[in-house]
Structure 1
Amino acid sequence: MSHIYQPLMLRILIEAGGTATIRQLAHGFLDQDESQLRYYEDRIKKMPLPVLKRRGIISHDGDLVTLNCKKLTFEQKSQVLMLCEKRMREFIMQRGIDLWGYRLIDTDPIPGSLRYRVIKESGGRCALCGATKKERPLDVDHIIPRSKGGKTEYENLQVLCSLCNQEKGNKDDTDFRNDDQPEFVPDCKFCYPNIKPRIIKGTGTMIAIKDGYPVTEGHTLVIPKRHVAEYFDLSDSERRDADSLLKYLKRKMIKKDPSITGYNIGVNCGESAGQTIFHLHYHLIPRRDGDTSDPRGGVRGVIPGKRGY
């Protein structure tokens, strides 16, 4: 990288009047380090942006982040800045250099050409849950973590989405590239390419369609984009996406139809449990008062005569 480091260092020195500390030079290098900028862009998107937005302190529109407050006076700005500085200083004093330990582990950033190769050969998808960059940020992950001696080389790199990578952490060395679970099965009725025209809503790794043979009006199916045979094969991030989509659909249903007073949510796992299409799907069945003479027992009714107790 000397072809860029040398002119960059000279430029910083000239702009500083001919003299600069190592720290000042390092700040100048950071301004030009795209990998570091992307890292902190991802960190901001994961946290603190969603936390501050949820608390109503900021608003977020595309790449633009804005404070949700009237124009502050000089005194107000000073008070807020002093409070922020105090909180930061207290936390840093408490944690010390260990605060940045997770960044100091990887002192050998992944070269851009190697990062590109790994992402390209992954098809631009998370090796665990199948998410693409459209659903959440993608990370190039060390299979054997740097904290366990893993090297920055092609054989030790895989693509994980931000959620899966966070769950994996820097202690686990599972290679998800060798997962035998196919992403799509050509003759599967619920695989993403075959069901795409029927999609009414999608959230991350999950999509929703109307049931072809509805039990009640509004009966909807929530299905993973990846070919997953049953519930117990889902990744944690897929379960979270499914939960999020089910909650969204529930809110939309009740808003559209106030007569809905309850729901059945069910998953059939295995032929003996009634599964006929072996691509996992959640049933979200809206219920209304009087839609059956005796609703007592709910899902216990899957075994005749066992609904009542």
Structure 2
Amino acid sequence: MAWFKRNTKGISTSTEEKKEAPDGVWNKCPNCKKPLHYSEQVENKYVCQYCNYHLRVGSKEYFEVLFDNNSFVELFGNLTSGDPLHFTDSKSYPERLAESYKKTGLKDALRAAHGQIEGQDLVIACMDFSFIGGSMGSVVGEKIARSIDYCIKHRIPFLMISKSGGARMMEAAFSLMQMAKTSAKLALLGQAKIPYISLLTDPTTGGVTASYAMLGDINIAEPGALIGFAGPRVIKETIKKDLPKGFQTSEFVLEHGFLDFIVDRREMKAKLASFIRMMHH
């Protein structure tokens, strides 16, 4: 009956002393479902080591991947949204903003910073999907506009990293105005002959796609990113037809001429540095 006896000789830790793994140390790849350790994700630039799926990350991670030694100066970091329309559905807009501040530690859905990439100055404006779905409101548009002015003044190339569900409905027309505002500022950047690189990541949709995301001197995307104006489900319901396989993925968009390159995140820094050297000099 030895099978049913518990052997405790090899157990040296009491139950009270055992600890669970901290939250965030492990997570699961959304594509292949295999477990990923956080340190391995960081080392692999937040790309799944098993299936090469590009995990969704925000400005903190992109700055870490791209800026030399993760060294940068954040620009216009204190801008926050007002409540011009006094929008309310189940919650007021200020309540939603307060929840997002607490949840993400961010002031809005975009951070801008000046640093160096392989020794070359670069301003990066990066969207954060975790803040109200990366929606484009007045603060997002204003930060992009001020970043472009900064680039023109100091003659520094500009990189825009888009990740957005589209315009922010709580700001209505104020949000939609940012499409024209940022596009006009990019025209001034072009007149000043300063390079603009647009990086589209998963997902890039709505008014962001219809404005600054598609206006780069070079438009690049990460593998497998969803890129489009309306989502696939909305389009399918509208036209009442099945959509082509891989519709609105970055590979599909590249094939149809809306992108210049698809670049793996692990090669992104070297590729961007090469583009900047080629265009800026």
TM bucket (normalised to shorter chain) is under 0.3
Q: Please, what TM-score do these two structures have when normalized by structure 2?
A: 0.25
Q: Please, what TM-score do these two structures have when normalized by structure 1?
A: 0.24
Give the helix-richer structure, 1 or 2.
Answer: 1
Q: Which is greater in Rg?
A: 1
Q: Which has the higher contact order (CA 8 A, sep 6+)?
A: 2
